């Protein structure tokens, strides 16, 4: 059996066929590489888009959080402002109510309790005295010759003198007592928890003496005195109006007896204070 050696043409044909196959394989490899690169680029692009979307979402979330925080802060600020305004209005209303209540119960010029507040305190003191078997003294005080000072020196000096008298009377009594301005140059003093009529007389004498001390009002040194009438619960009355009326009658007799003194109420004084009966024809 003999072997056959390929010819030159056959070798060329084989070589050409191998190169063609190699080129084909290379083309496929390049195509696959390009496809892989394209795919990678697409993935990179998608990743970048995803990152951008995440960043946009983060920014949107941050912006939303900032907006929400701003809205909450503004809402809180409005709530605080509204609360402060409501509190201010409430305090103003309470202050106005307290001021009106104070003005309804106190004298504007002297700041002393007025008759309405005195009446209430007198009723309370009478009830307390009844339980403890004590007395309550009502001192009705009228300044002597005040009208002359008021007319000659003017109302401003007269008002300042009334304020000075009010302060001096307040300094003469205990904290449990009450000094009231009845009106004009008249004052009423409520002396609570008094044991005897002699204690009431000593208190009245002290008030007459204290009131008679000179007053320095601006550049003026003024001298006034006081006439005082006393009524005692329960001896001279069992109700507010009766005690006030009897103290007023006693004060009238103190003025009639020379002023700058005190007079205690008695039934005889009430008889003398009554007008004479009408004459018959």
The answer to whether residues 118 and 180 touch, using CB atoms and an 8 Å cutoff, is: yes
- Six-digit token string for 266: 């008695």
Residue 191 DSSP label: E
Please name the residue that has the structure tokens 């050409």: 16
- Taking Cα atoms as reference points, which of 228, 272, 271 lies closest to residue 250? 228
What tokens appear for 215 in the block? 């007053």
State the DSSP H helix or E strand holding residue 182, giving kind and residue range, or none if neither.
strand 178-183
Burial class (CB in 10 A: 0-12, 13-18, 19+), 261: middle
Q: Are strands 186-194 and 135-144 parallel, antiparallel or unpaired?
A: antiparallel
Cβ-Cβ contacts under 8 Å for 128 (sequence gap 6 or more) = 134, 192, 193
Which residue out of 177, 185, 236, 248 is catalytically annotated?
185
Known catalytic residue at 142: no
Residue 190: Cβ within 10 Å count: 23
Return the SS3 of 280: coil
**Active site residues per annotation:** 185
């Amino acid at each position: 059996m003999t072997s056959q050696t390929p010819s030159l043409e056959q070798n060329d044909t084989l070589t050409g066929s191998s190169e063609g196959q190699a080129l084909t394989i290379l083309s496929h490899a390049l195509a696959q590489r390009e496809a892989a690169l394209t795919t990678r680029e697409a993935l990179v692009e998608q990743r970048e888009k995803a990152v951008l979307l995440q960043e946009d979402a983060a920014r949107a979330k941050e912006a939303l959080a900032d907006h929400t925080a701003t809205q909450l802060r503004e809402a809180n600020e409005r709530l605080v402002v509204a609360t402060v305004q409501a509190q201010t209005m409430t305090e103003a209303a309470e202050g106005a109510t307290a001021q009106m209540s104070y003005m309804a119960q106190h004298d504007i010029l002297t700041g002393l309790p007025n008759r309405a507040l005195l009446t209430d305190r007198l009723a309370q003191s009478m009830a307390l005295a009844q339980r403890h078997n004590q007395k309550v003294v009502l001192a009705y005080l009228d300044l002597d010759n005040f009208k002359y000072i008021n007319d000659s020196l003017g109302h401003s000096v007269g008002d300042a003198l009334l304020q000075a008298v009010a302060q001096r009377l307040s300094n003469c009594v205990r904290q449990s007592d009450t000094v009231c301005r009845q009106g004009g140059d008249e004052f009423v003093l409520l002396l609570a928890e008094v044991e005897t009529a002699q204690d009431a007389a000593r208190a009245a004498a002290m008030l007459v003496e204290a009131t008679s001390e000179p007053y320095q009002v601006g550049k003026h040194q003024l001298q006034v005195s006081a006439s005082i009438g006393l009524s005692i619960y329960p001896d001279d009355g069992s109700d507010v109006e009766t005690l006030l009326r009897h103290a007023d009658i006693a004060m009238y007799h103190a003025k009639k007896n020379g002023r700058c003194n005190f007079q205690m109420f008695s039934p005889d004084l009430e008889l003398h204070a009554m007008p004479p009966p009408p004459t018959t024809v």
